[in-house]
Amino acid sequence: ASAVPPQSKGSWTSFLKSIASFNGDLSSITAPPFILSTTSLVEYSSYWAEHPSVFVAPASEQDPAKRAMLVLKWFLSTLKQQYSSRNEKLGSEKKPLNPFLGELFLGRWEDDAGTTQLVSEQVSHHPPVTGYCIWNRKYGIRLQGYNAQKASFSNTINVKVFSFRKCYQIGHAIFHIDAFSEDYLITLPSLHIEGLITGSPYVELNKSSYIQSSSGYTARIDYSGKGWLSGKKNSFTASLYPEGREKEPIYTISGQWTGSFTICDAKSKKVVDNFDPNVTKTTQLIVAPVEQQDEMESRRAWQKVAQAISKGDMDTTSYEKSIIENQQRDMRKKEKDEGREWERRFFTRAETHPVFDALSKTIGESINDTSTNGIWMFDPEKAKNLRPPFRQQ
């Protein structure tokens, strides 16, 4: 059955045709209204910590191998939020609003884990790159990273398997634990968009991703969209092993990232832990009311566009979008005339990334700084710009 509304059949077909012959920046293609989201991509950074207690748990573990396992468990626990929560909420994957340069998304979570804070900023528009930092002071945990996406499509339209050939993520995240001065370099899975023909797109993950710790552990996660092992969708297997000794795993994990997974001691095969995203509730992110937000904050800046999209009013949508685009164009022109660059509110461009350089070799990652318009570092000095209630205590 098709999810495409009758009045959008024509525009969906031409949308599919336009993406079939296209390679590059997804944000630049026009899509029919029913598939537009009212949420900006800058908000997606919050998916990293919707279970704050799972996020901070590694800080309280004294054993380094168990700690690395808890970091892996947290990473796996975010996948459902990252890649399938929109389907659950909106019925399908939707095309997010394309953030403008300097767009901000600020928020915090308050729960058993205390206060966990989020700063997300669009650090580049061409190409689109989002930087983020999420931290919990009480537990001394900090996640920072930045990412971009590159998409390509299969250019033979085969009705059955029409999908993005691949959409790989460029960038990485670094999870830091103060108490042990430990860093974990996290690489991001590549993804496919399936379900385009019927107008109900959803994400499938494929290939592998890694987590490399400064304490000498490597985690490898293998995704199998169609579940060739269990027959279930969104399956994965993962293992945690001492760096360089993949054949001697300490923990193995298997299950579904949209369902439950179990963590086993690799030697005894005993289940030591498990997680079920459908049982462990997420904590709602607290975001300032739109009236109190800064002009650069996402929900305030896109408010009128979002309202128009919700009403299905495409004329107002494009009118309101063009106001933002023109403002942005004027700002870029002014900066160019004055020979300066837009100053990022929370991030600074760096020449090198010492933590990345120290940890990336074992897992064969390299920084692709041309695709991300630089290497982006969260700047704690700049974080002093945070207004209450987001200012660090």
- CB nearer ligand 0T9, residue 31 or residue 367: 31
Cα–Cα distances in Å, from 336 out to 36, 124, 241, 323, 342? 32, 15, 50, 20, 9
- Minimal distance in Å, beta carbon 278 to ligand 0T9? 19
- CB nearer ligand 0T9, residue 92 or residue 136: 92
Bridge partners, residue 162, by sequence: none
Tell me which H or E stretch contains 109. strand 104-111
Give residues with Cβ within 8 angstroms of 220, minimum separation 6.
208, 209, 210, 238, 239, 241, 246
Residue pair 62/78 in contact (Cβ under 8 Å)? The answer is no
- CB nearer ligand 0T9, residue 239 or residue 298: 298
- Minimal distance in Å, beta carbon 296 to ligand 0T9? 20
Q: What is the DSSP code string of 291-325?
A: GGS-TTBHHHHTHHHHHHHHHT-HHHHHHHHHHHH
Query: What is the b/e burial string over 64-87, where b = at least 16 CB atoms within 10 angstroms of the residue's CB?
Result: ebbbbbbbbbbbbbbbbbbbbbbb
Distance CA 377, CA 347 (A): 5
Only one of the segments 66-74, 88-96, 289-297, 337-345 lies at the binding site for ligand 0T9 (rule: CB under 6 A); that segment is 88-96
- CB nearer ligand 0T9, residue 37 or residue 239: 37
Name the 3-class secondary structure at 15.
Answer: helix
Omega within 30 of 0 (cis) for the link into 389? yes
Omega within 30 of 0 (cis) for the link into 242? no
38, 39, 77, 82: which one contacts ligand 0T9 (CB under 6 A)?
Answer: 82
- Minimal distance in Å, beta carbon 310 to ligand 0T9? 17
Going by C-alpha positions, the residue among 162, 172, 212, 163 that lies closest to residue 191 is: 163
Distance CA 308, CA 323 (A): 14
8, 53, 154, 169: which one contacts ligand 0T9 (CB under 6 A)?
Answer: 169
4, 35, 70, 287: which one contacts ligand 0T9 (CB under 6 A)?
Answer: 35
Give residues with Cβ within 8 angstroms of 182, minimum separation 6.
64, 67, 176, 213, 214, 215
Give residues 45-64 in contact with ligand 0T9 (rule: CB under 6 A). 47
Give residues 197-256 in contact with ligand 0T9 (rule: CB under 6 A). 201, 203
Cα–Cα distances in Å, from 21 out to 128, 151, 193, 248, 284? 21, 12, 16, 45, 40
4, 26, 71, 305: which one contacts ligand 0T9 (CB under 6 A)?
Answer: 26
Site map 91..120 versus ligand 0T9, x via CB under 6 A: --xxxx------------------------
149 binds ligand 0T9 (CB under 6 A): yes
Site map 171..200 versus ligand 0T9, x via CB under 6 A: ----------------------x-------
- Minimal distance in Å, beta carbon 134 to ligand 0T9? 12
Distance CA 76, CA 47 (A): 12
- CB nearer ligand 0T9, residue 47 or residue 342: 47
Residue pair 264/253 in contact (Cβ under 8 Å)? The answer is yes
- Minimal distance in Å, beta carbon 388 to ligand 0T9? 28
Bridge partners, residue 60, by sequence: none
- Minimal distance in Å, beta carbon 5 to ligand 0T9? 14
- CB nearer ligand 0T9, residue 201 or residue 255: 201
Q: What is the DSSP code string of 38-51?
A: EEEGGGGGGGGGSS
20, 31, 266, 350: which one contacts ligand 0T9 (CB under 6 A)?
Answer: 31
Count of residues in contact with ligand 0T9, rule CB under 6 A: 18
Only one of the segments 89-97, 292-300, 352-360, 378-386 lies at the binding site for ligand 0T9 (rule: CB under 6 A); that segment is 89-97
- CB nearer ligand 0T9, residue 203 or residue 250: 203
- Minimal distance in Å, beta carbon 339 to ligand 0T9? 33
Contacts with ligand 0T9 by CB under 6 A lie at 26, 31, 35, 44, 47, 82-83, 93-96, 147, 149, 167, 169, 193, 201, 203
